[in-house]
Structure 1
Amino acid sequence: MEIRVLQYFLAIAREQSIIRAAESLHLSQPTLSTQIKNLEEELGKQLLIRGTKGSRKVILTEEGMILKKRAEEILDLVKKTEKEVTLSNDIIMGDIYIGTGETDGIRLITRAAKRLQDTYPGVRYHISSGNAAYVMERLDKGLYDFGIVFGPVDLTKYNALKMPVTDIWGVLMRKDSPLASKEIIGPEDLWEKPLILSQQEELGGQLTQWLNCQASDLNISATYNLIFNASLLVEEGLGYAIGFDRIINTTRKSTLCFRPLAPKLENEMSIIWKKYQLFSKPAEKFIEVLREYLVEEPG
C-alpha cells in the first residue's frame, strides 16, 4: 500500500467522484480508476460503490470508511515525521502536538509554552481537545507528543509528570434552578434530576460511584464530549451538567452557576508521553522547560 495511492483514495472520498478527483490530482480518469482497482485487489475488499451511468457519484463501502479514517491518520503521521526529520538540526523549531481534556489546569501548560516560544519563536503548538479515550488513542499512534489526563496513569506504558493542580467536580446549572440555592451538592440531590454527563462517565466511572448508583438508574437527559456544548444545553433548561470547575464562565453576567460536590470529588492531572519515545527537538525542549517552570512556580 503506497502513500501516493492513499492520497488518491482520499481525494475520491473528498470529491465523491472519480472524475472530479482525477481533475484535482491532474490525472486521467482511467489511470486513477486503475490505481483504486489495484488497491482493492491488494486489500481484497471493495472500497467504493461506483455510480450508474446516470450518476457519477461514488459512495464508500464500510471497508472504505475504515480505510479513509486510517489513511487520514497515516498521512498526518507522515507529514509530522517529515517536518521532524527536515528540521532535525541545531535549530529549535517545529511543531508540538498536545491532546487534552477540558481543564483550567491547561494554563500551566500554556505558560510553559509561552516561555519556550519566547526563546524559540519557531516552535508552534497544536492543541486538540477530546475525551480520555480519544487522547490516549492518538498518543499511542504517535499523532500526539503529549497527552493531558486525569487520575491514575499506567506507568508501565507512559512516562508522567504530575501537575500541581487538581480539578474539582461539581454541577453546572442555571441560576434560577432549584439546586442553585445550595452551597454544595450531595448525591441524593441529583438522583431524580435530569443530568447531562460526559460520554465517558455515562458508561460508568468515579462519578457514578460517587452518586452511589448505576448509570442506568439515573435520569440522563443528554451526554456531552465538550463541556461548552453541555453548557448550552444547561442554558436551555435541559438539565444539570456535571463536570470540572473553572471551565465555563459563571461570573455575574452569566445565567449559569457552579456548585461543588460534597463529599468532594477531584482529579489529579498529569502530562504523559509514551515510554521510550524519541522526541523531536521542540518536544524535548518543551518538557524540559515545563519541568523548570513547575519548580519555579508550583501551582
Structure 2
Amino acid sequence: MSELRRLRYFLAVAGERNFTRAAERLHIAQPALSRQIRQLEQELGVRLLDRTTHSVEPTEAGRLLMERGAELCAEADRLWRDVRGFAESERASLTLGYSTSTGYGTAPGLLAALAERHPDLAVTTRLLTTAEIVTGVTDGTLDAGLVRCPPPTPELVRTLVRLEPQGVLLPASHPLAGQESVETASLAGERLLVHPREANPGHFDAITAIFTRAGLSPQLLLRQLSFDAAHTPVVRGEAVSVVGESAVDGLPGTLVWRPLRPASTIELHVLTRGGAGRRPAVAHLLRTASETARAAGWLRSPA
C-alpha cells in the first residue's frame, strides 16, 4: 500500500521538522524522501508542509494528517500483527480453564474437536473453580474458560455453547427412580444438595429457581467437597441433586438420573477477552465451539 508508506514518510518528516533527519531515521535517501512527499501532496491535492531553508512546518492540512495519520498507522500495525497471528497460531499454544461440571462431556467434546481441526495447536487445560476461571481470563493467564452460568463481567465476552438439560440424581432405590422423568413438584420434602452460593452464584440461583418455579422452597444441604464423583450424600439418601445430563456417564450403579418436568436447562459459556486482548488462536477455539455445538445439538432446547 503505497499511500500508507507515504503517510509514514510524511509523519517522520513532520515529526522531525527536517528532511535530513527523517531520511536518516527511515534509512532512505533524502531526494527519494522528498519525491515521496511531493507525490503524496499531489495525490491529496493540498500542500502538507511549508518548507524553508532550515526547517519544515506542517500546514493546517498537515497538522490534521499528523494527528489522524498516526492513529491510522497504529491501527494498521495492529491489524497486520493480528492477521499474521492467525498463521502463527497454528503452531501456538492455548490455555483453557474449565470447571468440574463442564468436564463430564462438554470440555472433552470441545477439546477432541479442537485437536482434530487444529492438530498443531498445543492446548493446555486447567481444572479450576468458576471464580478462578473468570479471574484468569480477565488477567490474561487463561486464554479462555468454559463455565456454567458465568457472572456478568463487562470486560469479558460470553459465547453460549450449550443449553444442558437438567435432571434429578436419585438413589436407585428411591420411589421416583422408576419414572422416565420426574416432575419437579414431586420433589417436595427432599433435601437438595448444592454447592455453596459463593462458589458460583449464577449456577446456584439457576438451580434454586427451578424449585421456586414449582412452588417449592427446599431445604439445602451444602456440599462439603468441591468435587465428589461418587455423589456420596445422594448415595446415602441424605439429599437429591440436580445435575446436567452429561453427568450420566460414569454414574455409580446405585444412582439414577431422571430428566425434570417441566424441562430445564443450564447455560454453559466460553469466556474470552474481547478486542485487542484476544489472541488469534482463540478464534480457532470459538469457531470450533460453534461447529461442535451445532453438530452435537447442544443448543437445542429440550421439548
**TM-score, scaled to structure 2:** 0.55
1:224 & 1:262 partners in 2: Cα distance? 28
The reply to whether residue 275 of structure 1 matches residue 274 of structure 2 is yes
> Shift of the alpha carbon at 1:228?
3.6
- CA-atom RMSD in angstroms: 3.9
Residue from 173, 185, 190 that aligns with 1:188? 185
1:196 & 1:111 partners in 2: Cα distance? 31
Amino acid aligned to 2:97: G
Equivalence for 2:258: 259
Amino acid aligned to 2:166: W
> Shift of the alpha carbon at 1:217?
5.0
2:265 & 2:287 partners in 1: Cα distance? 27
Alpha carbons 2:149, 2:268 under 8 Å: kept: yes
Instruction: State how 1:1-299 maps to structure 2 within 5 Å.
Output: 90=88, 92-101=90-99, 102-103=101-102, 104-118=105-119, 120=120, 123-130=122-129, 132-151=130-149, 154=152, 156-163=154-161, 165-200=162-197, 205-212=205-212, 217-223=217-223, 226=226, 228-229=228-229, 231-249=231-249, 254-280=253-279, 282-291=281-290, 299=298
Alpha carbons 1:93, 1:282 under 8 Å: kept: no
> Shift of the alpha carbon at 1:186?
2.8
Q: Deviations over 1:209-267 (max 9, x none)?
A: 221289x953223326656446133223332122212224367x711100111111102
1:297 & 1:187 partners in 2: Cα distance? 27
Partner SS for 1:137:
helix
> Shift of the alpha carbon at 1:99?
2.2
Q: How many residues align?
A: 208
Amino acid aligned to 1:124: V
1:155 & 1:134 partners in 2: Cα distance? 13
Task: Report the CA distance shift for 1:294/1:197 in structure 2 as closer, same or farther (over 3 A).
Answer: closer
- The structure where helix makes up a greater share of residues is 2
Equivalence for 1:4: none
Structure 1 unaligned segments of length 5 or more: list them.
1-86
Alpha carbons 1:98, 1:146 under 8 Å: kept: yes
Amino acid aligned to 2:169: L
Larger Rg: 2
2:247 & 2:277 partners in 1: Cα distance? 33
Task: Report the CA distance shift for 1:277/1:115 in structure 2 as closer, same or farther (over 3 A).
Answer: farther
> Shift of the alpha carbon at 1:166?
1.9
Structure 2 unaligned segments of length 5 or more: list them.
1-84, 299-303
Q: Deviations over 1:80-126 (max 9, x none)?
A: xxxxxxx99947445322222313222441123212452x1x61321
